[in-house]
């Protein structure tokens, strides 16, 4: 069955435009409550955890979801602004039936969305998402008054998550002597990430840590690392750490202000851990795959999206996976991508190697990549479009065995991503531009 509302990572869109509206969120809360109440696991009335990032619309949608859930007879625990991985953690530790995150991750404040976790802290499977969509088609009916759910706020959620993050490193591990600039993207980690690194001994300079509801991801964070790079150099810091709006991604900046992306971070962690295997995605840099191969570490590519990375990790029995964007999953520590936990694993590797970041990442040589987003009016089926496939084949023919071509529709934005990778940066950029122009024309732009 084709899903009407759920995309790669929950439901996302522009605030005020269907389905990101208060009335839909009320119905969504009710539909989720119906599905979770009927699901297996736990005794008595089910509980659902709700967390959110710092965008102003989160308060509106939190209230609407809460109302829908309690109308379905489900109890609710409200965490307030909390990183996405913290919601996954609290869902497990609070023995809740499910967790809900109100966030549009790295998108601007005008967007918002809903992400879900099951009782084990994993993203929902397709069958559960389809069941929720089925309930959305039914009329909303409130349970009897004696069965209405209750809502409470969890006042110590931030402290619990800070202690969890610190517990993921060895007991006597210390960051003493390191000067870190920590960019919280004015998002959900603003009151957590600086404390974690500081309590482990680092000198922390926080930036992007004064959210006002509108400035999330604005010229800060992992999608806008230029300000962090500049600040690291100005402060003479050892490293910069950039979170995204909901705290499930992380990128680094080395002491020279040079960006260290998710592929390089994943390689650093894998090498330190002597991992059996690593799961990347179709977007992962070929240089990482080759560097891991030299170390005798197996590598596999999943579809783009952390849920697909996680699924392939479970299938292979591997503990490490991630995306170029900095969405890194350490399955022995967490059930989902966690920017703070991943950053700590990089720092553990850094301390063990007794070197600096610029030297630590030198074991991997990235191949030049170039990507262009082609905007589209709606959903497109790339596999069934013969003209698009012919365009890709033509580009692959020109590139030969010197690289690879990837064309895919985004699951979170109305764009088709055109990506080329190869040995020669100039050739890659030129061919990518030509293919993007051709794709745009074929899609009627």
- Helix 126-136 with 22-38: angle, nearest 10 deg: 120
* β pairing state of 75-81 and 151-153: parallel
Q: What angle do CA 36, 39, 43 make, to 5 degrees?
A: 95
From 105, 222, 229, 325, active-site residue? 105
**Cα 236 off chain centre by:** 29
Exposed/middle/buried for 156, CB within 10 Å: 0-12, 13-18, 19+?
exposed
CA distance 83 to 244: 10
CA distance 386 to 317: 37
Q: Catalytic site residue 105?
A: yes
| Torsion sign over Cα 330, 331, 334, 335 | positive
Q: Identify whether the C-beta of residue 246 lies closer than 8 Å to the C-beta of residue 105.
A: yes
Contacts for 320 with CB less than 8 Å, ≥ 6 apart? 266, 269, 270, 273, 275, 277, 278, 279, 313, 328, 329, 330, 331
Contacts for 415 with CB less than 8 Å, ≥ 6 apart? 373, 374, 375, 376, 409
| Exposure b/e, 283-313, CB count within 10 A at least 16 = b | bbbbbbbebbeeeebebbebebbbbbbbbbb
Active site members: 105
């Amino acid at each position: 069955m084709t899903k009407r509302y759920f995309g790669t990572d929950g439901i996302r869109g522009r605030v005020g435009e269907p389905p990101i509206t208060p009335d839909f969120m009320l119905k969504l809360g009710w539909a989720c409550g119906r599905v979770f109440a009927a699901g297996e696991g736990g005794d008595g009335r089910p509980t659902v955890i709700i967390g959110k990032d710092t965008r102003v619309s989160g308060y509106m949608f939190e209230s609407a979801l809460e109302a829908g859930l309690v109308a379905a007879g489900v109890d609710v625990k409200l965490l307030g602004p909390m990183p996405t991985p913290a919601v996954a953690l609290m869902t497990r530790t609070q023995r809740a039936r499910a967790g809900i995150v109100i966030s549009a991750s790295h998108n601007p404040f005008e967007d918002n969305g809903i992400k879900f976790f099951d009782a084990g802290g994993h993203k929902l499977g397709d069958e559960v998402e389809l069941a929720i969509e089925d309930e959305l088609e039914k009329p909303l009916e409130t349970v009897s008054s004696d069965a209405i759910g209750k809502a409470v706020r969890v006042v110590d959620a931030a402290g619990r998550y800070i202690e969890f993050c610190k517990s993921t490193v060895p007991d006597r591990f210390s960051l003493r002597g390191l000067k870190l600039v920590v960019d919280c993207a004015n998002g959900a980690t603003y009151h957590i990430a600086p404390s974690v690194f500081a309590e482990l001994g680092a000198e922390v300079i926080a930036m992007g840590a004064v959210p006002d509801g509108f400035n999330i991801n604005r010229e800060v964070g992992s999608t806008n690392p230029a300000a962090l790079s500049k600040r690291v150099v100005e402060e003479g810091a050892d490293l910069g750490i950039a979170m995204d709006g909901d705290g499930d991604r992380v990128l680094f900046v080395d002491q020279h202000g040079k960006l260290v992306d998710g592929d390089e971070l994943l390689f650093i962690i894998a090498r330190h851990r002597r991992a059996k295997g690593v799961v990347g995605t179709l977007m992962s840099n070929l240089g990482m795959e080759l560097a891991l191969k030299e170390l005798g570490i197996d590598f596999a590519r999943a579809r783009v999206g952390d849920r697909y990375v996680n699924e392939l990790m479970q299938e292979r029995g591997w503990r490490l996976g991630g995306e170029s964007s900095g969405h890194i999953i350490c399955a022995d520590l967490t059930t989902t991508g966690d920017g703070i936990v991943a950053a700590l694993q990089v720092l553990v590797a850094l301390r063990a190697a007794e070197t600096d970041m610029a030297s630590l990442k030198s074991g991997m040589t990235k191949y030049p990549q170039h990507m262009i987003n082609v905007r589209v009016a709606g959903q497109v089926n790339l596999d069934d479009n013969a003209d698009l496939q012919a365009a890709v084949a033509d580009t692959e023919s020109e590139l030969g065995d010197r690289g690879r071509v990837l064309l895919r529709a985004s699951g979170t934005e109305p764009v088709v991503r055109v990506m080329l990778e190869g040995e020669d940066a100039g050739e890659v950029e030129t061919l990518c531009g030509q293919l993007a122009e051709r794709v745009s024309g074929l899609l009627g732009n």
